[in-house]
Amino acid sequence: MAGVTDQPFRRLCRSHGAALTPSEMLTSNIKLWGQEKTRLRRCHDGEEEPRVVQIAGADPLMMAEAARLNAEQGAQIIDINMGCPAKKVLKRSAGSALLQYPDQVEAILKAVVAAVDVPVTLKIRTGWNPENRNGVAIARLAEDCGIQSLAVHGRTRACAFKGAVEYDTIAAIKNAISIPVFANGDIESPHQAAQVLKQTRADGLMIGRGAQGRPWIFDAINHYLEHGTLKRTKTLQEIHAIISAHIRSLHEFYGPVKGVFFARKHTAWYLGNLEEAYDLEIGGKELDSLVLSFRKEFNSLQDCSAQLHTLDMIFEFLTSSETKQQVKNRQFKELAA
C-alpha cells in the first residue's frame, strides 16, 4: 500500500473505524531517510495511537537499526513486511522474496525483536509460489522468534493479486500458532468480512485495496459484525464531504504540486465505486461515460482549487434532476463551463 496509506489516508481510515493503520512501507536503509518521500512516510504527527511503522529490507542488522530508530522516535508497534510482491522490492530480496529463505527470515525476526521494547508484528503471504506454500512453517518460525501477531495475505508471491484467495491456508496457519492472526485478501464487503472470519477463524481482518475509494468500509464491517445488519448507506452529500476533506488534506500534506498529483488516484478510486455504492438515477454506460469524462478533466487540472471546484461540479450534477438523456448528450466539460 506504499503510495496509498499516507498520513491523510491513515487518519481518514481511523476516523471511519479502522483499529490499526500501519504506515507506508519504509526502507530499512536509513541513509535514504533524508529523502522527501521517506520523510513524509515517517510523519506521524497528530495520529491516534498506537502508531504502527512498517519496515522492509533483507539485512538483519539494517532492519534491527531501522526498528530501533523508529521506536525511539515514537513507533509503538514495528511491523515487518514480508508480503509485498512488487518487483522493485523483490529485486532487493525483501518483501515476499524472503519467504524463499527461512534462515534469513529467522535472522531478521530475531534481530528486530531483540532491538526494540515494543511489539513486533509480521505480514506474510502463503508462500513463494503455489509449489512452495510454506506459510504454516514461516508462521511457526515467527511465533518462536517472538512475533506478537501475524497478518496473512491469502496468495503466494507468484499469484500477486490474481486468482482465488486461499482462506483455507490462512485457517491452517491460524490453527498452527497461538498468536493473533489477521486474514487479508479481497475483503470488500461486510458479508464477505463475516464469511472470512468464519472460514479462517482469524482474530481480525486486514483490509488494503478494499478501502481504496471507500474508507468507510471499516465502519460498515464493524457495524455488521456487532449488530448483524447493514449500516445505512451514506448519502451522496456525505460522500462528497468526505472526498473533499480528503483532497484538501492531501493538498496540505504534500503541497500544491504533489498534492494535486496524489489527489488524482484517490478521486479515481472514489468515482469507480459510484454505481456500486449509491442509488443513482443514472447507471451503466451513462454513468461510465460521465465518470470517464470527469476523470479526464480532473486529471488535467494543475491547481488545488480547480480540483475542488471540479469535484463540486460532478456531485452537484449527480444530486440534481438531470436525466439519462442529458447525460448522453453532455460532456463533463460542458457541465463545468
Annotated catalytic residues are 84
Q: What are the grid coordinates assigned to 3, written together?
A: 503510495
Owner of C-alpha cell 489477521: 182
Residue 232 contacts residue 279 (beta carbons within 8 Å) = no
Three-class SS state of 158:
coil
The answer to whether the CB of 287 falls within 8 A of the CB of 275 is yes
The closest of 208, 268, 266 to 84, measured between CA atoms, is 208
Ranges of beta strands (E only) in 185-289 are: 204-206
User: Does a cis peptide bond (omega within 30 degrees of 0) precede residue 60?
Assistant: no
Decide: helix, strand or coil at residue 103. helix
- Ramachandran angles phi, psi of 161, nearest 5°: -120, 25
Q: Rounded to whole angstroms, how far apart are CA atoms 155 and 96? A: 11
34/153 Cα distance (integer angstroms): 31
Query: Would you say 24 and 1 are in contact if contact means Cβ atoms under 8 Å apart?
Result: yes
DSSP label of 20: -
Residue 332: what residue type? F
Beta strands 120-125 and 77-82: pairing type? parallel
Task: Give the span between the Cα atoms of 334 and 317, in whole angstroms.
Answer: 12
Nearest partner of 120 among 60, 68, 78, judged by Cα: 78
Taking the alpha carbons of 47, 48, 50, 52 in that order, is the dihedral positive or negative?
A: negative
